[in-house]
Structure 1
C-alpha cells in the first residue's frame, strides 16, 4: 500500500494530502461494497494522491458516489473542483452555506488571498476550479447519505465555521470531524499519555459557544474514535475521546479569556499570539511533550497565527 494511504479498518482509509508537511492534512476514503466516498479532499495538489488511493485499492474513478467536504476552507475543499472532473459518477455534498463557494470559488479564493497572500496561495493551493451546479447537493441536518447501503449521518456543526458539517459513521463508531474537534498532530503523541489536542479558531467564523455545543452533540453518540483532518485518527475508546474533549473544553475557555484580556492592548494581535503560544506550550508540558522547545514552537506557529487572527475577528464582532 502507498506510504500516504493508511487503512484504519471498517473500510475507512486516511490519505495524507501532503499539504504543508507530512501528517498535517488528511482526506478520507470510505469504501463499501465496491463503492466509495471522499470526505475532505485537501488542495489541488492532493488530487493525484486521492486518485492514486483509488487505484491502489482497485477502484475505478466511476466507483466514487460522493465527495463530501466538511467545510469549504481550502485545506479541506480546495481540491474539490479538480477532483470532481475525474469522478464522473460523483455528487458533491456540501453545507448549504458553502455550496455557492464551490460552484463559483472566486470569493473563496479572494478571502483566502487576504489571509495568506498571493505567493502562498500559488504555492499551496493553485487555481480553484468550480463544480457545475447540477452536480452539487446541499446537506441538511440529520440527513442520511447512503453509500452502497452504509448510512453516513450528516450533522450541522457550527463553531469553527458556519458552513461546517460533520459525518457520523456508525460502522466505525466515529465522526469525521473536519475542524470541529480540533487539531491533533502526531508529533505531539506521548507513549504513555496518548494524543494531545488543541482547538482551532481560524478566521473568520469562530464562535466558542456554538463550537462547544457542536462538540457535545457529537459526544452524545459516544464515539469510539474521531477522524480529524489535522491529523488522522484519535481515540480508540469512548473514554479516550472524552479525555480529548476535556482538553478542548479547557483550552477553549482559556482562549476566550486570553482574547478578552488582550482586547484593549495596543498591539492586540501580538498579545494574542503570545498568550496562545504560552497556553499551548504549558499544556504540552503538562502532557509530557519532550520535543525541543524550538520544535514545539515551529509545529505550533501557523496555528498560533491563525488562531490569533480568528480570535481578533471574534473580538471585533463582540464589540460590534
Structure 2
C-alpha cells in the first residue's frame, strides 16, 4: 500500500521555475506516495493549509518553499506524530541546511522516500512557533532591508548587500537576558537565539556546532563597539562556523538555556525564522523533540559557554527552588 501525504507548495519561493519544480517533485514522489497537493496564495498561507491537513488526519505533510513556508507548515505538526518532509526552494534554505537535509529537489525527495525520521527541538517566541532562530537588532534590520525583490534578483547576496548597508547605521543597545537561573545585562548590536542554524547564519554561531535535539536553545551576543569591530566579529563568527570551534573574541558571548526572556533599551526589531514579527521584548521557550522530520542522521558537537569580556557585563544569579 502506497504512503499518502499532503504536499504544500509555495509557487513564489526561490529564483527557479516553480511550475517545473512541481513537475519534478511529482515525478519523483508520486510513484511511491499518494500526494494531495495544495498551493499557497497570498490569502492562504502554509500554516492554514497545514493545520487543515492535520484536522483531516493526514499521515505526512511535505512542505516545499523557503524557510518561511517550512516554518509555517511545521507549526501545525508540533507535538504530533505527523512527520514533516522538507523540500527547500528558498533563498537561504537555512532550515534544511541546519538539519543536514539536501537543498536540491531530487535529493530532498529521496530523503523523504527513505522514510527515516528524527525528533528535533522547536521553540516558541512570544507564542509564535520557531524552528530556526530569532534575531534581535542587526539581523532583524538586515532581513528587513533584503526585500523579496532583492532576493529574487540577487539570491543569498541580497542578505550580504543588506548587511553591508546596515553596517553604516550600526547602533548598540542595552539588553537584559533572563534565563531560568540568572539575569545577564550587557550591551550589544545583535542578540540571536537559535534552535537550529546553518553556518551561514553567522550571528548565531558563538558556540558553533549548534545541536537541534538537545532540549536547549543557543544564544549568541555580538557586541562590537565600532564598525571595524563589527566586520571583524562577523568574520570571526564565519570562521567559527566553518571550523566548528566556539568564538573566542571578547565582544562575542554565548550561553545555552531552556528559555530566554530578552528586553532591550531602546526597543529593537525582531526577526523570527526570516520574518519580521515586531519589537522587543521577547520570550523564547524550547519544546524538546517537538517536531518529527524526515532528515538524514548527522553528528554534532556540544557547545560550551562564554560571557567574559562583554561590555558593561553584570550577572545576577536567581534563587531556584527544586520542586
Question: Shorter chain as normaliser: what TM range?
Answer: under 0.3
Give TM-score, length-normalised by structure 2.
0.27
Give TM-score, length-normalised by structure 1.
0.27
